[in-house]
């Protein structure tokens, strides 16, 4: 199990267990994390699972694909650390990952 | 004066489950009109994931969203459904009684569809434009901030700012450019999703000084009385500037919202419509809810579950449309009657 911490827009952290091989978005939904809508169900087609990856993790998590970068155009307040959580796969290397959810998804 | 259409069943939503409802109702001699806010049938399958493979449609080990929609359209074709696309159902009027229901469905295009049965197959709700979370933006909506262009003439001689990098943003930048006094396009990055020829046309206008492009994001707005005066833009460099303007057109794609369905007097549970599990009828006799929009114990939001719900709802709908006719269950494999309706006998 890989620990993932979601910090909501008010600053409240929630740490949950992520299943390796699943996505950060799926982990959020399974644990009823507020601030992740995932309207399209993980098809990289809606930008409602937008998260900010914390500075110390951006390198390990990596940068978005072309398709994801296009889809981020539909997100608000996009920053260099922005990712769509449906496109981040949970793996043991990401144990301790911290992401912040934006104030509004869509 | 609204245009009135009379039919047996009005289906709200032309996604996969709405389309399959046409088939099931058609087998039982009921004619349908479908209303959908999107400009094409298929709902989420066509709008969100036309090219994504789906693995859990029975009989198809894999099929993509658009293929499924195309097949469902083919399957519904013998029953000649009427589509009202690019329209939203605003209001539902109840005219009949519980025993003999009759409804009038009013669309935002001024049409009215009169039907004995209404099937709500609205999925996750209506696709509506995403609104940027800029404080106070709603005070300018429809006077100075627009999420779609209904009348191009409104923008004549005005300073218009278009935000986004997709086809809507680029198309309107190009189309409004000859009309507006000045067009400024704001996008968060130098790359665009829009079709390459539109992007090239936009770059050409920028190079010849006829259109402005700003790399950045809008953080707040200034103005009063519903009239924008300026947008505050954070440029890529981190610098914040005021950009004077009269109108703003944000294009951030679509999101699903329940919309006016919430005001139709149906019982709702967390934005879903509770139904029974034998007929998928709502708290209002004659109104059914099928697919992702309904809820009942054990509900799964799967296309295949929606298909099952549509088949059962059609059986009860028959009772309302043909109160005096007895319904005899038949199979398409063996019934010459059904095969004649399908045009295959």
Contact: A103, B133; criterion CB under 8 Å: yes
Strands (E), chain B: 3-12, 32-36, 53-54, 63-64, 82-85, 89-94, 103-107, 111-120, 126-129, 159-163, 182-187, 212-224, 227-235, 240-244, 247-250, 254-257, 273-274, 287-289, 294-295
| Three-state secondary-structure class, residue B35 | strand
Judge if B136 and B120 occupy the same domain: no
Quick one: pLDDT at residue B119? 98
A32: closest CA of chain B, how far (Å)? 15
Segments forming the whole domain that contains residue B310: 3-127+255-341
Digit-coded pLDDT (tens) for A32-71 = 999 999 988 888 888 999 999 999 999 999 999 999 999 9
DSSP at B152: G
Residues of B in contact with A77 (CB under 8 A): 133, 217
pLDDT at residue number B270: 85
Query: B1 pLDDT band (50/70/90 cuts)?
Result: low
B107/B1: higher pLDDT: B107
Instruction: Clarify whether residues B82 and B155 are in a common domain.
Output: no
pLDDT at B269 over 80: yes
pLDDT of A45 reads 84
The structural domain count of chain B equals: 2
Region B161-180: mean pLDDT is 96
Give the pLDDT confidence of B9-39 residue by residue, as tens digits: 999 999 999 999 999 999 999 999 999 999 9
Boundary residue ending a domain (B205, B230, B252): B252
A46 vs B48, B132, B166: nearest CB: B48
CA distance to partner chain A, nearest, from residue B255 (Å): 6
Q: Is B132 part of the contact surface with chain A (CB cutoff 8 Å)?
A: yes
* DSSP state letter for A57: G
Is B333 annotated in some ligand binding site?
yes
Q: Which domains does chain A have, with CATH numbers?
A: 2-100 (3.10.20.30)
The yes-or-no verdict on residue B344 having pLDDT over 80 is yes
The reply to whether B88 and B7 lie within a common domain is yes
Which pLDDT belongs to residue B10? 98
Q: Which helix (H) or strand (E) holds A13?
A: strand A13-18
Statement to judge: residues B170 and B140 lie in one domain: yes
B276 is in an annotated binding site: no
Whether residue B283 is found in the same domain as residue B172: no
Domain final residue pick, B252, B272, B296: B252
> Between residues 260 and 319 of chain B, which touch chain A (CB distance below 8 Å)?
none
Q: How far is CA B201 from CA A81, B105, B210, B252, B264, in A?
A: 31, 43, 11, 21, 46
Return the bridge partners of A100, or none: A7, A52
Residue A9's alpha-carbon distances to A34, A35, A87, A100, B44, in angstroms, are: 10, 8, 21, 7, 29
| pLDDT, average across residues B86-99 | 93
The rounded distance, in Å, linking the Cα atoms of B252 and B270 is 26
Do B165 and B50 fall within a single domain? no
B217 touches chain A (CB under 8 A): yes
Q: Confidence band (pLDDT; 50, 70, 90) for A104?
A: confident
Express each pLDDT in B288-337 by its tens digit: 999 999 999 999 999 999 999 999 999 999 999 999 999 999 999 999 99
> In chain B, what are the helix, strand and coil shares in percent, each to the nearest 5?
30, 30, 40
**Is A27 touching B (CB cutoff 8 A)?**
no
Q: Are residues B122 and B269 in the same domain?
A: yes
- The pLDDT mean for chain B works out to 95
B89 has binding-site annotation = yes
Residues B113 and B260 in one domain: yes
Answer yes or no: do B61 and B120 share one domain: yes
Same domain, B247 and B259: no
Q: Is pLDDT above 90 for B69? A: yes
Q: Which residues of A touch B164 (CB under 8 A)?
A: 73
* Chain B environment of A69 (Cβ under 8 Å): 189, 191
CA-CA distance, B164 to B162, in Å (whole number)? 7
Residue B2 has pLDDT above 80, yes or no: no
| Residue B192 tokens, joined | 């665009």
For B253, the 3-state DSSP assignment is coil
Residue B256: partners with Cβ closer than 8 Å, 6 or more residues away: A39, B44, B123, B124, B125, B126, B127, B128
Q: Name the DSSP class of B141.
A: B
CATH number, domain with residue B325? 3.50.50.60
CB-nearest to B188 from A40, A43, A78 is A78
B110 and B193 co-located in one domain: no
% of chain B with per-residue pLDDT over 90: 89
The nearest CA of chain B is from the CA of A19 a distance in Å of: 22
What counts of helices (H) and strands (E) characterise chain A? 3, 5
Nearest chain A residue to B64 by CA distance is A43
Domain boundary among B252, B268, B297: B252
Query: Are the beta carbons of B48 and A43 separated by less than 8 Å?
Result: yes
Please give the Cα distance from A53 to A60 (Å, whole number): 10
* DSSP helix/strand/coil, B91: strand
- Looking at the structure, do residues B287 and B182 belong to the same domain, yes or no? no
Query: Are B52 and A43 inside 8 Å of each other by CB?
Result: yes
Here the contacts of A61-66 (C-beta below 8 Å, separation 24 or greater) are A61/A88, A61/A94, A61/A97
């Amino acid at each position: 199990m890989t620990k993932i911490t979601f910090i909501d827009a008010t600053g409240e952290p929630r740490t949950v267990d992520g299943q390796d091989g699943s996505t950060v978005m799926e982990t959020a939904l399974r644990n009823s994390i507020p601030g992740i809508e995932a309207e399209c169900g993980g098809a990289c087609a809606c930008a409602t699972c937008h998260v900010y990856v914390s500075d110390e993790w951006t390198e390990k998590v990596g940068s978005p694909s072309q398709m994801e970068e296009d889809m981020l155009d539909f997100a608000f307040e996009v920053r260099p650390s922005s990712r769509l959580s449906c496109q981040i796969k949970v793996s043991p290397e990401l144990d301790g990952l911290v992401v912040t959810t934006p104030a509004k998804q869509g | 004066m609204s245009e009135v259409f009379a039919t047996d069943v009005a289906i709200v939503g032309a996604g996969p489950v709405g389309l399959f409802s046409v088939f099931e109702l058609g087998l039982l001699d009921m004619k349908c009109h479908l209303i959908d806010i999107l400009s094409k049938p298929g709902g989420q399958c066509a709008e969100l994931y036309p090219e994504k493979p789906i693995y859990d449609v029975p009989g198809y080990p894999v099929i993509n969203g658009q293929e499924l929609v195309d097949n469902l359209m083919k399957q519904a074709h013998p029953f000649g459904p009427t589509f009202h696309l690019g329209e939203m159902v605003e209001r539902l009027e109840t005219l009949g009684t519980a025993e003999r229901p009759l409804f009038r469905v009013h669309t935002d295009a001024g049409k009215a569809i009169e039907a004995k049965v209404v099937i709500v197959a609205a999925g996750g709700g209506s696709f509506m434009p995403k609104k940027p979370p800029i404080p106070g933006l709603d005070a300018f909506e429809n006077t100075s901030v627009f999420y779609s262009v209904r009348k191009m003439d409104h923008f004549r001689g005005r300073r218009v700012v278009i935000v986004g990098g997709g086809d809507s943003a680029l198309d309107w930048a190009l189309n409004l450019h000859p009309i507006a006094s000045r067009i400024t396009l704001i996008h968060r990055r130098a790359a665009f999703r829009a079709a390459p020829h539109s992007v090239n046309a936009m770059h050409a206008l920028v190079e010849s000084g006829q259109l402005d492009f700003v790399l950045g994001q809008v953080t707040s707005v200034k103005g009063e009385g519903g009239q924008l005066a300026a947008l505050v833009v954070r440029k890529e460099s981190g610098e914040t500037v005021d950009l004077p303007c009269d109108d703003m057109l944000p294009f951030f794609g679509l999101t699903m919202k329940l919309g006016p369905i919430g005001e139709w007097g149906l019982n709702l549970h967390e934005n879903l419509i509770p139904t029974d599990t034998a007929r998928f009828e709502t708290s209002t006799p004659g109104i059914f809810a099928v697919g992702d929009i309904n809820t009942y114990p054990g509900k799964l939001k799967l296309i295949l579950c929606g298909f099952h719900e549509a088949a059962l709802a059609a059986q009860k709908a028959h009772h309302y449309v043909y109160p005096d006719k007895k319904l005899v269950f038949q199979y398409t494999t063996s019934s010459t009657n059904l095969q004649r309706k399908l045009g295959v006998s």
